[in-house]
Amino acid sequence: MTHCFADEPLPAADFHRHSVIRPRMYHGRYGRHLPDTRTQNGRHQQHIVVAMELGGAEAWLDLTLNQRLLAKGFFHRRQVNGSRVVERPNEEEINHCHYVGKVRGRPESWAALSTCHGLQGVVFDGRELHYVEKGGPHHLLYAHSDLREHNKTCGYRGAAAGPAHAHSSTDNRILRYKRSSDSATVIRGPYNANRDSKYLELVLVVDNREFKELGENQRRVVDHCKTIANIINGRARRDHFLAEWGHHPGQLPALSQEQAAARASQRQCAAADQGVVGKALKGPMCTFEYSGGVNNDHSPVVGLVATTIAHEMGHNFGMEHDTVDCQCPEERCIMAPSSSTVAPTHWSSCSLNYLLLAFTHGMDYCLKNKPEFLFDSPVCGNGFVEPGEQCDCGMSQHCENPCCDSATCMLHANASCATGECCDLSTCKPKGAGTECRSAQYECDLPEYCTGQSEFCPPDIFKMDTERCDEGRAFCYHGFCRTRTDQCKLLWGDTGKSSDDQCYDMNTKGSRHGNCGYNKFNESFAKCDRESVLCGMLHCKHLNERLEFGMESVAILSHSFINKKGSIIPCRTAIVDLGTNQIDPGMTPDGAKCGDGKMCVNQRCRDVLSLRKQSPHCDKDCHGNGWCNSLGHCHCKDGFAPPLCEYPGPGGSEDSGPASDPNAHQGVVVAMFIIFLGVVPMVALTAILLYYARYNLKLSWPKAPTTATGGVARKAGGFRGGVAICRPALISTTNAEGIVRSHTISHSIKSLVLVCLLVHCSASVSLARVVVLTPLTFPIWFG
């Protein structure tokens, strides 16, 4: 990296002109003037306001300390006399003095400024990109439109730059990896994150020449790198990316740092001789060997260098240089093949399509690990819900959440939630129980449902390992069901199939044609045991000569043939670079069947029953009404209740939430109780009493003599005992003259039952027929 610093920096030669400005800083809340952003405890103010001249007019910048910049595990590592020295600075030593924000009153603006050594960074006012640099006692302001024409170009030679393109595109099939759900962190967010959110982590390696150019001052080197990263982060925020600088232990996706530094130095020197300011390969963002780029610190204006790095990172994401067919909201976009006086602040339509293509084809699997902790947490306005906060939608100028007060990170009045997949932002209330918040993506996956109480979707749970799947051709393993043929289709397209079992015998050789694993560090191959040959390197046959997954330019392809009874059978293999933390998709997938009652795990053929004994299991096999999940709990089918799926209920599990709203069944349950414990016994009792009433009436009622005409002779005096009979029904009697008379029954059915039992009817009339309508509306006949 190639620029010089003097005690009194001269104006950068990259621009035709510059302005001398005297920015003023104020406290973000109290408005008092600040000579410096550092506080008494050595840290820096959370919120500041900067007044400065932009484009001939005074502008006010609202800035917030960029808490998203540094990831957990941030460290410095340097070489001292041939030995490595690793330093992990504390919060005071790290000098976190980097801010992001906007120009007040200009919604399309953005700013990324550092106050470590004066004011330094980039401000986009919505129309023009400005660069701010410390220049002696004052500050220098450059407008990008004043940039001189030069021949500095990108070293990538893609389709837009000429025929020398030698980089494979990433047109391939997807191998999706489920995110780890066992994190113990209590930090949640960003509020608008979902299962497709990506988190970019950036490692910057400085060579010895750059170290010397910066005066061999370690703190100055670190601050310089953080300022570059802060500008990249500020630009990423504008396009809804989350970029962090730092290193999660075990997550570095590229070279070891010693190798990276050495190769960077060599390539940087070659690039500088050719006038190239940056170079990167296309597409290998998550590979072990080529995830990175080389950038020349070609200007004392740090914003220009950050723009170059952002451009080269675009190539890592699979982007080509823009062509005339690409749509750009400005004259030029970030992926233009060379710089010009037009400041690129947007990604073109082509760049976004390339990015979508890369993500859709699985080249984002190393970008899904959400940061566990943040520097100087908790801080309101960093977009992550931390202890003591009810919500956090980011800085006020970026917050579009109607449920969250961005100034206090507390919920608005009458709001119950403001974040999470189970929060309804239109009502600021949790979604109803049983609302699906994460669908099952595969046969071995299980869906998750909102509980109705929490705004967050339950953790990602899947079926128990060793569960049969794909009609018995494979077994579930960590939520996936994959056979060897499935994996061949992934690598080679729809025509891919697992080749003859005889091909797999070559896995005992431990070579590029057959093995049980490839060590990228020492470039060695492991041999397979005879019983595990089907679990080693994948051998495919297909009609496609082109690798469909990963980057063919960085893959190791081989093919051989076997003669089986006169037939020539191909055995094609591939070693695909997916970094150090992912299993090579060119190997037999875990869960593939390798014999009767046996499955592949970590390139070994294992007995399914022994593996099942080691896994959590469910009691009584969930009564056949559900599946055992990866935590050993029953996930019930809809209509059965956890924990054992034995009784009626809403479905789901205690881990994944209810599959339907439990309250929706409450009315049915109450009605059933009323029917079976109230109505049915009452009807039965009524029927019994009516039966006995009829029997008693027949025994106790005297028969009256009949007349010659068939009528009933009526004794004088009528009815004895005055009976009060029931609700509307008719009793018909016939007098001695043969005249039919009707008597209205006017009391309830209970009166009828009591009358029939307690009253001795000795009248000389006979009860011909009584019709009684019960509460269930069917007639009971007697008489």
- 15 versus 6: the higher-pLDDT residue is 15
Task: Specify the pLDDT at position 153.
Answer: 62
Measured in whole angstroms, the distance separating CA 718 from the mean position of its chain's CA atoms is: 88
Q: Which phi-psi region, left, alpha or beta, contains residue 364 (left: φ > 0; alpha: ψ -120 to 50)?
A: alpha
Integer Cα distance of 381 and 64 in angstroms = 8
Measured in whole angstroms, the distance separating CA 140 from the mean position of its chain's CA atoms is: 43
Contacts of 265 (CB under 8 A, 6+ apart): 207, 208, 209
Q: Is residue 623 scored above 90 in pLDDT?
A: yes
252-266, 549-563, 625-639: segment of lowest average pLDDT? 252-266
Residue numbers belonging to the annotated binding site: 311, 315, 321
Residue 312 annotated among the catalytic residues of the structure: yes
Average the pLDDT over 109-136 and give the result.
88
Amino acid present at 242: L
> What 3-state DSSP class applies to 31?
coil
Integer Cα distance of 394 and 233 in angstroms = 14
26-30, 362-366, 383-387, 565-569: segment of lowest average pLDDT? 362-366
DSSP assignment of 421-481 equals: TTEETTTTEEPPTT-EEE---STTB--EE--SS-SSPPPP-BBPTT-EEGGGTEE-BTTB-
Measured in whole angstroms, the distance separating CA 259 from the mean position of its chain's CA atoms is: 33
Structure-token pair, residue 247: 């290193």
Integer Cα distance of 116 and 217 in angstroms = 14
Rounded to the nearest 5°, which phi and psi values hold at 23? Answer: -65, 150
Task: Specify the pLDDT at position 62.
Answer: 93
Task: Specify the pLDDT at position 750.
Answer: 42
Q: In the predicted model, what is the mean pLDDT of the chain?
A: 76
Peptide bond into 190 cis (omega under 30): yes
For 25, 119, 348, 407, the CA distances from 368, given in Å and listed in that order, are 37, 34, 24, 29
Average the pLDDT over 232-255 and give the result.
50
> Vertex 205, ends 201 and 209: CA angle to 5°?
160
Task: Specify the pLDDT at position 365.
Answer: 72
Q: Is residue 565 scored above 90 in pLDDT?
A: no
Give the confidence band of 207 by pLDDT, cuts at 50, 70, 90.
confident
- 488 versus 286: the higher-pLDDT residue is 488
Query: Does residue 504 contact residue 539 with C-beta atoms inside 8 Å?
Result: yes
Share of the chain above pLDDT 90, in %: 31
Residue numbers belonging to the annotated binding site for Zn(2+): 311, 315, 321
Structure-token pair, residue 471: 């009609």
What letter does residue 677 receive in the DSSP assignment?
I
Q: Which of 312, 448, 455, 548 is catalytic?
A: 312
- 710 versus 100: the higher-pLDDT residue is 100
- Kind and range of the H or E element at 245? strand 242-245
- 700 versus 61: the higher-pLDDT residue is 61
Average the pLDDT over 460-472 and give the result.
94
Contacts of the segment 521-527: beta carbons below 8 A, 24+ positions apart: 526/603
Q: Is residue 480 scored above 70 in pLDDT?
A: yes
pLDDT tens figures, 430-453: 999 999 999 998 899 999 999 999
Integer Cα distance of 143 and 129 in angstroms = 6
Average the pLDDT over 137-153 and give the result.
80
Domains, the chain, ranges and CATH?
A: 19-367 (3.40.390.10), 468-615 (no CATH), 689-782 (no CATH)
What letter does residue 526 receive in the DSSP assignment?
P
DSSP assignment of 648-673 equals: EE--BBTTTB-SS-GGGGHHHHHHHH
Nearest to 309 by CA among 372, 373, 379, 232: 232
Peptide bond into 378 cis (omega under 30): yes
- Predicted TM-score (pTM) of the model is 0.62
- Kind and range of the H or E element at 638? none
Integer Cα distance of 486 and 461 in angstroms = 23
157-171, 221-235, 332-346: segment of lowest average pLDDT? 157-171
- Kind and range of the H or E element at 343? none
Residue whose structure tokens are 């150090």: 580
Task: Specify the pLDDT at position 462.
Answer: 95
Contacts of 687 (CB under 8 A, 6+ apart): 780
Integer Cα distance of 505 and 600 in angstroms = 16
27-36, 217-226, 311-320, 670-679: segment of lowest average pLDDT? 670-679
Structure-token pair, residue 356: 């979508």
Contacts of 326 (CB under 8 A, 6+ apart): 333, 348, 349, 350, 351
Give the confidence band of 752 by pLDDT, cuts at 50, 70, 90.
very low
Integer Cα distance of 508 and 495 in angstroms = 27
pLDDT tens figures, 685-742: 888 888 777 767 666 655 555 555 555 454 444 444 444 444 444 444 444 444 444 4
Task: Specify the pLDDT at position 783.
Answer: 36
Integer Cα distance of 539 and 516 in angstroms = 12
